[in-house]
Structure 1
Amino acid sequence: MTAQQPPHEPTDLADRALVEEAAKKSGLLWVRGPEGPSRALWHVWHEGAVCLVGDGPQEQPLDGLGLTDGGAATVTARSKDKGGRLVAWPVRVVELTPGGERWTAAVDELKGKRLNAPDADTIADRWARECRVLRLETAGAPGERPGAMPDASHAAAPRPTAATTRRPAPAGLPRLLFRRKGRTPR
C-alpha cells in the first residue's frame, strides 16, 4: 500500500465484491503460501471462498507452497480485460475433511470445472483417497487493488522444468512453405 492511501477496512463491500468477481471470472488464481513463489492454480468460487483440489497424482501440485490447515496465504487475481494483476488478498487455508458436508459441496462444484478428468464418474472417490481439497477463506482487506498497486515488479524466475525450447526450423522449410502457397488447387 502506498503512503498516501488511508488504512482500508476488511469489511468494505466494494473490496468484497471486487474479490468475488475477480475470483469468479478468472480460470486461474495465483496462490503464494509461506513457502516458495506464487503458483497458478485452477479453482472455483464457492460459498464465499476459493476452493481448489490438488496434491494427487493426476491433479495440480500444491507441494512447495506450504498450504497447511489454519495457515495463511495470499491469492492474486488478474483482470479479465487487461490480463494484468487486479487484486491480491490474504486468505486463511482450511483443509476440508473428505466426506464432510463442506467437502462434498466443494467437490460437487470442483467436479464441474475439472477438465479432461480420466475418471469423471468416480473423481470424488479418487479425490477423497489421494488429494487434498482446500478452502481459501478471505482473511482481510486486499493489499493490492486498483488505486493501491506497488510500483515494483512481481516477476519471478521460471520454475525448473524438463521441457525444452523447440529447435530452430530447418533451413529449407520456408522454401517448402512458400512453394505450396503459389500452387493452385487441382
Structure 2
Amino acid sequence: MTSELVDRALVEEATKKSGLIWVRGPGAASRALWHSWHEGAAYVVGDGPGEQPLPGLADGAGAEVTVRSKDKGGRLVSWAAAVTELEPGSQAWETAVGELKGKRLNAPDGEAMPERWRRECRVLRLTPTGVTAPLPDGSLAAPPLPTPATTREPVPAGLPRLLFKRRRSASR
C-alpha cells in the first residue's frame, strides 16, 4: 500500500512539473507532447492543423507515459495510462481546455483557439492506472523519427572572416 502511494505521488509531482511528457500509444513510436496536469490526469490536445500529432492514442486504449526531469532531462518515471477522448463542449472538455489554453505557446489564433480545438482537434485525458515501469538498466536511445527538416547547409565562405573580424575588434 505504501509503495502505491509513493508511486502515485511520484507520477503526479513529476508530471506536474515537467513541460513535456513522452507518450507511446499501441503500435506507435514515443512522441514528446506538451500537456497540462489537472485533477489526477494529464491532458493533451492535438491532431488538428498546427497542433501536435497524437499517433496511436485512441479512446479506450492504453498508453505508456514517460516523464523526464525538468532540470537534468533524465527519465524519472514511466507509467501506464488509460486514454479517454473528451466530448467537445462537455463540462470535462471545457475544464481541460481551460487548463490547456494557458499552456499553449505561440497559438496563431489567441482567444479563438478553444473554438478551433472544438472543431478540428482532439482533447485526451491520460489517467494513471497505478502501474509504473521499473527504470531500465541501459540506454533506450532510438534513432530520430523521419521528418521533412533538412540538415544544415555548408558554412558560407565569408562567415569565418566575419567571425574572426569580430573577435579581433572585441579584444582591442
Q: Shift in Å at residue 82 of structure 1?
A: 2.0
Alignment match of 1:45 (pick from 29, 37, 41): 37
Q: What is the aligned partner in structure 2 of residue 176 from structure 1?
A: 162
Q: Shift in Å at residue 133 of structure 1?
A: 0.2
CA contact (8 A) 2:87 2:93 kept: yes
**Does structure 1 residue 135 correspond to structure 2 residue 125?**
yes
Alignment match of 1:86 (pick from 53, 60, 76): 76
Q: What is the aligned partner in structure 1 of residue 138 from structure 2?
A: 152
Q: Secondary structure at the match of 1:24?
A: helix
Q: Note the 1:14-163 alignment, pairs <5 A.
A: 14-62=6-54, 65-144=55-134, 149-163=135-149
Q: Shift in Å at residue 171 of structure 1?
A: 4.2
Query: Larger % of helix: which?
Result: 2
TM-score, normalization by structure 1: 0.86
CA contact (8 A) 1:44 1:52 kept: yes
Q: In 2, distance between residues paired with 1:109 and 1:181?
A: 47
Q: Secondary structure at the match of 2:100?
A: helix
Stretches of structure 1 that go unaligned for 5 or more consecutive residues are: 1-8
TM-score, normalization by structure 2: 0.92
Q: What is the aligned partner in structure 2 of residue 12 from structure 1?
A: 4
Instruction: Indicate the RMSD between aligned Cα atoms, in angstroms.
Output: 1.9
Q: Shift in Å at residue 141 of structure 1?
A: 2.3
Q: Secondary structure at the match of 1:183?
A: helix
Q: Shift in Å at residue 127 of structure 1?
A: 0.6
Q: In 1, distance between residues paired with 2:107 and 2:130?
A: 34
Paired residue type of 1:125: E
Stretches of structure 2 that go unaligned for 5 or more consecutive residues are: none
Q: In 2, distance between residues paired with 1:68 and 1:172?
A: 52
Q: Secondary structure at the match of 2:44?
A: strand
Alignment match of 2:151 (pick from 149, 152, 165): 165
Q: In 2, distance between residues paired with 1:116 and 1:176?
A: 33
Q: Shift in Å at residue 24 of structure 1?
A: 0.8
Q: In 1, distance between residues paired with 2:81 and 2:162?
A: 55
Count of residue pairs the alignment pairs up? 171
Q: What is the aligned partner in structure 2 of residue 3 from structure 1?
A: none
CA contact (8 A) 2:59 2:84 kept: yes
Q: In 2, distance between residues paired with 1:56 and 1:121?
A: 17
Paired residue type of 1:46: H
> Quick one: structure 1 residues 10 and 55, their matched pair in 2 at CA, closer, same or farther if it must change by over 3 Å?
farther
Identity of aligned residues (%): 65
Paired residue type of 2:5: L
